[in-house]
Amino acid sequence: MQTILFSSTDPSTPENAAQIIRRGGLVAIPTETVYGLGADACNVDAVRKIFLAKGRPQDNPLIIHIAEPRELTRYCHDIPDFAWRLAEAFWPGPLTMVLPVNDCIPRETTANHDTVAVRCPASEVTRALIRASGVPIAAPSANLSGKPSTTSAQHVLNDYGTDGKIDAIIDGGECSVGVESTIVDLTETPPRLLRPGGITPEQLREVLGDLTIDKAVVSQISSDAVVRAPGMKYKHYAPSAEVVIIEGSREAASRYIHRHFVPGEAVLCFEEELPYYEGLFATAYGCEEDPRTLSAGIFAALRRLDTPEITKIYARCPTGGGVNYAVQNRLKKAAGFHTLNAEEAE
Ligand code: TXA
Ligand code: MG
């Protein structure tokens, strides 16, 4: 069987793709963050197919996607007031809330947790698909487990091919945010940030006042540790080459990289830095001056560098808050938190 490629601009796409969801198939869906690998969140067999297709560890729960914020009450209970304030401020959009789960969501979807992660995405075609399906859609990022996330339909095709490993892909163009949603656990007070993303900690604090940052956001967690967001402990977002983050000024970083670079290695840097790496194999993922271009470009760049010929990647990482906080998190995870300060190394 061939994988069907739907266009997001074809008015019949939501209904056609919904037929696949209703009969338990897998549809890759565009969202503003990354492409997801979607299936009926209430159909145990369909959910199992997601885990199989991705090669995802069984203990890693899925996010369910809803079309309207008010649907939260169908799938969750004990919804605190600040959940509604967050929904009002950021939905539809790149925010996921973790809340106590209702019985209608099977244990396979939540990986036996007593909570469920819920998101109302901004993509119109995906919300139309959810409405047409009549069920919430469970969707992890569509990449094969451990690989950089998919931010275009082509990335999804690269991972799964066209021979029916998944039933369909809705091509909605390139994802505008480019990193996965921000995840906040609302089952404790103050709420806890489990994964930084398109909604920044500063934006969350404006609505919530206080926010705890989970330790998995800022440090490497061992694979046998008990963590709030199981996905955060796995090696993640990584191309096959070793990634090392080179900190320090532009000049110091470029001196260090030029001194150590050998053929087969690559530099991942900001547009502004490309002139420093003439003669080396260097690729830019966005402009340091415009952080949204960095989040939008990071996964495509990591994928470009995910070839067997590349043995090591020297990566430049943005500093500070805002969406840069999410970019730092993804790059540090890709590097297994391996960072080196070029100024100290001189
Ligand atoms: O932007 C996104 O969130 C994308 C798009 C497709 O919506 N989805 C996504 O899914 O990134 P995934 O599966 O790649 O990441 C979901 C993360 C994992 O780290 C998982 O452990 C965590 O959410 N998660 C899911 N359910 C949870 C729960 N009940 N409690 C804590 N963490 C949860
Ligand atoms: Mg993922």
What's the 66 CA to ligand 2 centre distance in angstroms?
18
Question: CA triplet 290, 293, 295: central angle to 5 degrees?
Answer: 115
Ligand nearest to the Cα of 120, by number? 1
Tell me, what's the pLDDT at 237?
Answer: 75
Q: Per-residue DSSP letters for 73-97?
A: HHHB-S--HHHHHHHHHH-SSSEEE
Beta-carbon neighbour count of residue 251 at 10 Å? 11
140 CA distance to ligand 1 middle (Å) = 6
Give the model's pLDDT for residue 236.
Answer: 67
Nearest atom in ligand 1 to 119's CA = 7
pLDDT value, residue 88: 98
| pLDDT of amino acid 74 | 98
Q: Return the ligand 1 atom nearest residue 121 CA.
A: 7
Positions in the chain whose pLDDT score sits under 50? none
pLDDT digits 0-9 by tens, 112-124: 999 999 999 999 9
Measured from the Cα of 35, ligand 1's closest atom is: 6
Residue 232 confidence (pLDDT): 66
Q: Which helix (H) or strand (E) holds 39?
A: strand 36-40
The tokens for 82 are 């600040």
Give the model's pLDDT for residue 224: 67
Handedness of CA 151, 273, 236, 67 (dihedral sign): negative
- Residues with CB under 6 Å of ligand 1 are 31, 33-34, 36, 60-63, 96, 98, 110, 113, 115-117, 119, 121, 139-141, 180-181, 183, 194, 228-232
Alpha carbons 124 and 2: distance in angstroms, whole number? 26
Q: How many residues does the chain have?
A: 346
Token pair listed for 306: 């995910």
Closest ligand to the CA of 35: 1
Cα separation, 338 vs 209, whole angstroms? 33
